[in-house]
């Protein structure tokens, strides 16, 4: 007898949204092999940006760790599990791009770096953190999506801030491309939430806003749950170190405006937002 237990309500009725995001993602880095030819001037890149590039390349390399926790909360939701695979491939592409940057700047990742990310000490720590942050009774898929919106949007801010300070125009342009990918990832989490509120009970919809407040009030980025990052002083403080007060204010304002739409019962269709999928294709 099968142990399959279908989700209490669907994320999407059809895979059309997955199809669009998958197709878009395949078009964004046709020139990745060209980065192997780079020869960049290390003296033009501030130390703080180099430290950021090194830590972030390892964050992206660690995607296999993060997918395990996503699958844990997505459960038997086939479409969200498929998104995890799509998302993982795109984040691994970011790792390759960032690794090429480091190599071109003469600071390659080491065997110690790779081993530190492969220890497997992420899953239990993250699950413990997230189970405490998730509101009792809230659908775990929706809670993970709320966190995903916040986490991916913070990545947009981080890469954009690094692009402004890196000192090499070619590098800045590529970091902005990575940021646009993270916009798409954040938007996918939003699109999925907006889909699920069409099918979920009203009490689940009403928990989105308080769950956002819980997440933003005690936000921990994935690197907080990998011991190697703490050993090498590459935690969230480094990830946020390039931000200024305006960056923080813009992020909190944007996310608050977005999630506030869920504070009241739905009254007609939600305000239509520009979907960054087409933007990412046209600007890449």
pLDDT, position 233: 78
pLDDT, position 2: 57
CA–CA dist 240, 224 (Å, integer) = 13
For 199, phi then psi, to 5°, come to -115, -20
CA–CA dist 209, 257 (Å, integer) = 11
According to DSSP, residue 273 is labeled -
| pLDDT tens-place values along the chain, 284 residues long | 456 788 999 999 999 999 999 999 888 899 999 998 999 999 999 999 999 999 899 989 988 888 988 999 999 999 999 999 999 999 999 999 999 999 999 999 999 999 988 887 788 888 888 888 899 999 999 999 999 999 999 999 999 999 999 999 999 999 999 999 999 999 999 999 999 999 999 999 999 999 999 998 877 777 778 888 888 877 777 667 788 888 888 889 999 999 999 987 655 444 544 444 344 434 43
pLDDT, position 162: 94
pLDDT, position 121: 76
Rounded to two decimals, what is the model's pTM?
0.89
* Vertex 149 angle, CA 148 and 150, to 5°: 90
pLDDT, position 280: 40
- Residue 166, C-beta contacts closer than 8 angstroms, at least 6 positions apart: 44, 45, 46, 49, 172, 175
CA–CA dist 134, 212 (Å, integer) = 10
Task: Annotate 61-89 with b (16+ C-beta within 10 A) or e (fewer).
Answer: bbbebbbebbeebbbebbbbeebbebbee
* Residue with token string 């996503």: 70
CB count within 10 Å of CB 44 equals 13
Angstrom CA distances, 190 to 64, 92, 113, stand at 22, 22, 33
- Residue 44, C-beta contacts closer than 8 angstroms, at least 6 positions apart: 166, 167, 168
pLDDT, position 228: 84
């Amino acid at each position: 007898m099968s142990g399959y237990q279908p989700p209490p309500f669907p994320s999407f009725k059809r895979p059309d949204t997955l199809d669009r995001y998958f197709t878009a993602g395949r078009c964004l880095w046709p020139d990745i092999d060209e980065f192997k030819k780079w020869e960049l001037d290390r003296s033009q890149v501030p130390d703080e940006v180099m430290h950021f590039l090194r830590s972030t390349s390892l964050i992206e390399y660690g995607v296999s760790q993060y997918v395990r926790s996503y699958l844990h909360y997505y459960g038997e939701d086939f479409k969200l599990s498929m998104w995890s695979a799509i998302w993982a491939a795109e984040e691994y592409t970011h790792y390759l791009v960032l690794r090429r940057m480091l190599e071109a700047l003469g600071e390659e990742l080491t065997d110690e770096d790779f081993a530190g990310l492969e220890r497997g000490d992420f899953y239990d720590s993250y699950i413990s953190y997230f189970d405490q942050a998730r509101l009792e009774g809230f659908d775990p898929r929706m809670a993970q999506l709320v966190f995903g919106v916040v986490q991916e949007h913070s990545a947009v801010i981080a890469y954009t801030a690094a692009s402004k300070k890196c000192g090499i125009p070619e590098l800045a342009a590529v970091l902005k491309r990575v940021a646009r990918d993270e916009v798409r990832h954040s938007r996918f989490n939003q699109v999925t939430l907006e889909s699920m509120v069409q099918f979920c009970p009203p009490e689940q919809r009403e928990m989105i806003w308080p769950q956002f407040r819980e997440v933003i009030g005690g936000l921990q980025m994935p690197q907080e749950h990998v011991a190697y990052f703490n050993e090498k002083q590459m935690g969230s403080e480094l990830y946020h170190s390039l931000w200024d007060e305006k960056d923080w204010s813009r992020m909190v304002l944007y996310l608050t405006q977005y999630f506030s739409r869920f504070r009241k019962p739905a009254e007609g269709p939600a305000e239509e937002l520009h979907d960054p999928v087409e933007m990412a294709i046209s600007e890449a």
